[in-house]
Chains A and B, each alone.
Chain A
């Protein structure tokens, strides 16, 4: 089966998964008690204003009508208007989504970088104290919830040593908005990004590290490693260019699951470090019954995971020449 058929078949599955995921979310959110007007009632919204706002949002229509409207709207790429902010969902969510992707992307990147390098070394120096120490450290890292790691890092690096800002994405007062580089490229931003990304990296490095180590153990037993050594190539070349390169394959398939965990974990890390990401926005939206924002946030989070699954499959085929498209 050629690459084209494989991609098409996977796309069809993708569409189905998105649709089912979507309907699940739609029903779920309509079950959350309360409606978008609840938060204004105590601040002076009169019952008439409330009725009128409910009607305006179309929440008084039967569920299936709302569902059909929503799907039509979505097919035209319009995520609708936020019930609370009254602005198009896209304008609000896109910036938040980027903030979360940059944060979690960096965290996962460091987690995989550490995972591959240290996992490979732990496999190479099997039986050494380094390996045993490495296993214990990774297991401890995996055993602590994100918020706990965050609190510890905050206490040590911010409140005690004062090396890093305590929260937010940039020092206040600077230029707002701007393009990607301008937002995420400045040193000031990197200083703010460091601790939250490190928190994520610590929690998510366990899976790639342990997986890398165990695949390394098998690969090192393979004949070709002995041949590469016999070829007189430098030790590090044999370790990384050959042994690690073969061991990294299973890590690709786990990437999608790790992304899922990262998407979930972002809610906690963003709360501890007041990071204006999509995780926290999603929680606010759920609490204030702002369905369009909550739906969009969930949709984007879910699609990142589904997409990563798709990318992982393609990457695996690219990385391992032995694999044909099953």
Chain B
């Protein structure tokens, strides 16, 4: 939405009200009576009223739960004296305005909890280090705190997990105290599936039934040897060299193998590698031995040359060179490959060896780097447990088991259906057209699933979370008291218990409690408490006029 939308919203509310009906009318929906509540005695001489909050949130179409959360939060902020201008936007438009243009005061979005992010690096470094405050960077609030930066830099270099844990704990405490964002809830929930048609389901942390482990373990019991999955959006591309959205990554990793895979517990485990990497001269060199019984889907053997070729390919690829930047040199001998790093990098196994997919050199060999992203392998030949059969966009993607794989899946055929939305996919599930849905259903669906003895729901926890980012580049959000007060107004319990009907868990830290090892349980908590919010503002020298509107103190 263009920034002009900000003031127009207020005009509309007035116009909408008086315009048509032709006489002063208070329209349904905008806050009627503001109950007085106990207002502590803020500053007596009042300065300017505090600027109104340009609050960006998703439309009900994008995410019905978060849309409701945004409107309730806006109401609570208005109760403690702020004037809130809530803009409901499409996902792409909101990301552009908040993350790219950074034209916002507060923005309610979520961070996906993929297994790769179980390692704390993303939530500690990417999201809070002052290096990442540029346009498009992940430090959307523009939070920069030298003391915090040191901790974030330190943790990367600590190969010893216990030492690193201490640093990560301390980082979480600072973030919780300074509230650059309000961390609201880990949106775990359930993925519905047809218990009468499939078994051995394995809902994993952060991804539920969309996880790699579930897709290779799920077994059809209705004899057609096929598992059909529904997902509320279409895959964009299966080319591993393109920038991948979540749905794409879920299927690219079925077709291609990595040296290590992030296991259900979030820790990397050997996959193409025969065992743990041999780490020498304090974390600067990693040596990995690969299996000798792996072939690609077209029968060609997967050799160490393919692995070396792949890592050099990543280094040249404009999209992914950043990922393998930390590697200075690669050597291979027999079935072993050794990586020399420029500097110690603790998450190397999980974030690099666990991410890079191994390509067949005989197919990608002569593709020059510029065209990598646009290269079309008609059969997407990889070495993964599934192989590509056929695909018609927006209609159906068909994969079949690659039986020669060392860890073949339990189903012969695996079909993916992109739905218009979750409700419509649930309809297909109930009509027997699909076997499980990789999306969290609405409360109304849950009650229906319980009654339907063909259907069950697989619970899973999330390591990502929904949060409200504040723009520290703008007044008054650079003042920590304002941010803390705003955080006190976010109804976290009501969001999880009522709006999400119990799906998910409340959180106060950037690292989810389900990531037990890295989660710091005793960070400062911010739960719904309007009085505490008013107290924060009063202590910081703000005051209220007799309409209850928040003002700067005269001396501020």
Residues of A within 8 A of B (CB): 32-35, 37-50, 52-53, 81, 84-87, 92, 95-96, 154, 158-159, 162, 165-173, 175-177, 270-272, 274, 276, 280-281, 284, 287-289
Task: Contact check, B92 vs A39: say whether CB atoms are below 8 A apart.
Answer: yes
Q: Does B100 contact A (CB under 8 A)?
A: yes
Closest residue of chain B to A276, judged by CB? B394
Task: Contact check, A172 vs B417: say whether CB atoms are below 8 A apart.
Answer: yes
Contact status of A288 and B92, CB under 8 A, knowing A47-B134, A47-B136, A281-B394: yes
A-B pairs with lowest CB-CB distance, top 3? A34-B96, A47-B136, A276-B394
Residues of B within 8 A of A (CB): 1-2, 90-93, 95-97, 99-100, 109, 111-112, 134-137, 224, 226, 228, 234, 236-237, 239, 242-246, 249, 318-319, 322, 373-374, 376, 390-396, 398, 413, 415, 417, 419-421, 424, 427-428, 430-431, 433-434
Closest residue of chain A to B248, judged by CB? A43
Contact status of A40 and B243, CB under 8 A, knowing A172-B433, A176-B391: yes
Q: Collect the chain A residues with CB atoms within 8 Å of residue B419's CB.
A: 167, 274
Task: Contact check, B392 vs A159: say whether CB atoms are below 8 A apart.
Answer: no
Q: Collect the chain B residues with CB atoms within 8 Å of residue A154's CB.
A: 427
User: Could you list 16 further interchain pairs (A-B, Cβ under 8 angstroms) beyond the known A41-B136, A272-B424, A276-B392?
Assistant: A34-B92, A35-B100, A39-B95, A43-B246, A166-B424, A167-B419, A168-B395, A168-B433, A169-B395, A172-B433, A173-B228, A173-B398, A176-B396, A274-B420, A284-B234, A287-B93
Task: Contact check, B394 vs A33: say whether CB atoms are below 8 A apart.
Answer: no
- Bound: A45/B99 CA distance, A: 12
Interface centre among A35, A270, A281, A288 (most CB of B within 10 A): A288
Task: Contact check, A176 vs B390: say whether CB atoms are below 8 A apart.
Answer: yes
- Bound: A92/B395 CA distance, A: 12
Q: Collect the chain A residues with CB atoms within 8 Å of residue B95's CB.
A: 34, 38-39, 41-42
Smallest distance from the beta carbon of A139 to chain B beta carbons, Å?
A: 26
Q: Collect the chain A residues with CB atoms within 8 Å of residue B242's CB.
A: 86
- Bound: A173/B463 CA distance, A: 34
- List 26 A-B pairs, Cβ < 8 Å: A32-B93, A33-B2, A34-B92, A34-B97, A37-B136, A40-B244, A40-B245, A43-B244, A43-B246, A45-B243, A46-B136, A47-B137, A53-B243, A86-B237, A86-B374, A92-B393, A166-B427, A166-B431, A168-B395, A168-B433, A172-B396, A173-B228, A173-B398, A175-B390, A276-B392, A276-B394
Contact of A38 among B100, B226, B417 (CB under 8 A): B100
Task: Contact check, B398 vs A280: say whether CB atoms are below 8 A apart.
Answer: no
Contact status of A158 and B427, CB under 8 A, knowing A43-B112, A46-B322, A287-B91: yes
Interface centre among B244, B396, B413, B434 (most CB of A within 10 A): B396
Smallest distance from the beta carbon of A182 to chain B beta carbons, Å?
A: 12
Smallest distance from the beta carbon of B119 to chain A beta carbons, Å?
A: 14
Q: Collect the chain A residues with CB atoms within 8 Å of residue B100's CB.
A: 34-35, 37-38, 41, 50
Closest residue of chain A to B319, judged by CB? A49
Interface centre among A33, A87, A171, A176 (most CB of B within 10 A): A33
Task: Contact check, B398 vs A276: say whether CB atoms are below 8 A apart.
Answer: no
- Bound: A86/B375 CA distance, A: 9
- Bound: A44/B431 CA distance, A: 36
Q: Collect the chain B residues with CB atoms within 8 Å of residue A175's CB.
A: 390
Interface centre among B242, B243, B374 (most CB of A within 10 A): B243
Q: Collect the chain B residues with CB atoms within 8 Å of residue A166's CB.
A: 424, 427-428, 431, 433
Task: Contact check, B413 vs A38: say whether CB atoms are below 8 A apart.
Answer: no
Contact status of A173 and B413, CB under 8 A, knowing A34-B95, A167-B419: yes
Smallest distance from the beta carbon of B3 to chain A beta carbons, Å?
A: 9
Closest residue of chain B to A286, judged by CB? B90
Interface centre among B90, B244, B413, B421 (most CB of A within 10 A): B90
- Bound: A139/B249 CA distance, A: 50
- Bound: A268/B95 CA distance, A: 26
Task: Contact check, A42 vs B111: say whether CB atoms are below 8 A apart.
Answer: yes
The binding surface of chain A is classed by DSSP as loop
Q: Collect the chain A residues with CB atoms within 8 Å of residue B112's CB.
A: 42-43
Q: Collect the chain A residues with CB atoms within 8 Å of residue B396's CB.
A: 172-173, 176
Task: Contact check, B92 vs A287: say whether CB atoms are below 8 A apart.
Answer: yes
Q: Collect the chain B residues with CB atoms within 8 Å of residue A52's CB.
A: 318
Contact of A280 among B226, B322, B394 (CB under 8 A): B394
Closest residue of chain A to B234, judged by CB? A284
Task: Contact check, B319 vs A289: say whether CB atoms are below 8 A apart.
Answer: no
Q: Collect the chain B residues with CB atoms within 8 Å of residue A43's CB.
A: 112, 243-246, 249
- Bound: A109/B39 CA distance, A: 67
Contact of B373 among A33, A84, A86, A172 (CB under 8 A): A86
Q: Collect the chain B residues with CB atoms within 8 Å of residue A41's CB.
A: 95, 99-100, 136
- Bound: A44/B245 CA distance, A: 8
Closest residue of chain A to B249, judged by CB? A43
- Bound: A287/B421 CA distance, A: 15
- Bound: A35/B420 CA distance, A: 22
Task: Contact check, A287 vs B90: say whether CB atoms are below 8 A apart.
Answer: yes
- Bound: A86/B372 CA distance, A: 11
Task: Contact check, B1 vs A33: say whether CB atoms are below 8 A apart.
Answer: yes
Smallest distance from the beta carbon of B413 to chain A beta carbons, Å?
A: 7
Task: Contact check, A173 vs B395: say whether CB atoms are below 8 A apart.
Answer: no
- Bound: A95/B394 CA distance, A: 10
Task: Contact check, A85 vs B390: say whether CB atoms are below 8 A apart.
Answer: no
- Bound: A227/B431 CA distance, A: 58
Q: Collect the chain A residues with CB atoms within 8 Å of residue B433's CB.
A: 165-168, 171-172
Q: Collect the chain B residues with CB atoms within 8 Å of residue A167's CB.
A: 419-420, 424, 427-428, 433
- Bound: A168/B100 CA distance, A: 36
Smallest distance from the beta carbon of B233 to chain A beta carbons, Å?
A: 8
Smallest distance from the beta carbon of A275 to chain B beta carbons, Å?
A: 9
Q: Collect the chain A residues with CB atoms within 8 Å of residue B90's CB.
A: 34, 287
Q: Collect the chain A residues with CB atoms within 8 Å of residue B390's CB.
A: 175-177
Interface centre among A49, A171, A272 (most CB of B within 10 A): A49
Task: Contact check, B398 vs A49: say whether CB atoms are below 8 A apart.
Answer: no
Task: Contact check, B391 vs A33: say whether CB atoms are below 8 A apart.
Answer: no
Q: Collect the chain B residues with CB atoms within 8 Å of residue A86's CB.
A: 237, 239, 242, 373-374
Task: Contact check, A276 vs B134: say whether CB atoms are below 8 A apart.
Answer: no
- Bound: A311/B364 CA distance, A: 50
- Bound: A40/B242 CA distance, A: 11
Contact status of A34 and B395, CB under 8 A, knowing A166-B433, A167-B427, A274-B420: no
Task: Contact check, B136 vs A177: say whether CB atoms are below 8 A apart.
Answer: no
Task: Contact check, B92 vs A38: say whether CB atoms are below 8 A apart.
Answer: yes
Task: Contact check, A39 vs B245: say whether CB atoms are below 8 A apart.
Answer: yes
Q: Collect the chain B residues with CB atoms within 8 Å of residue A48's CB.
A: 322
- Bound: A165/B428 CA distance, A: 8
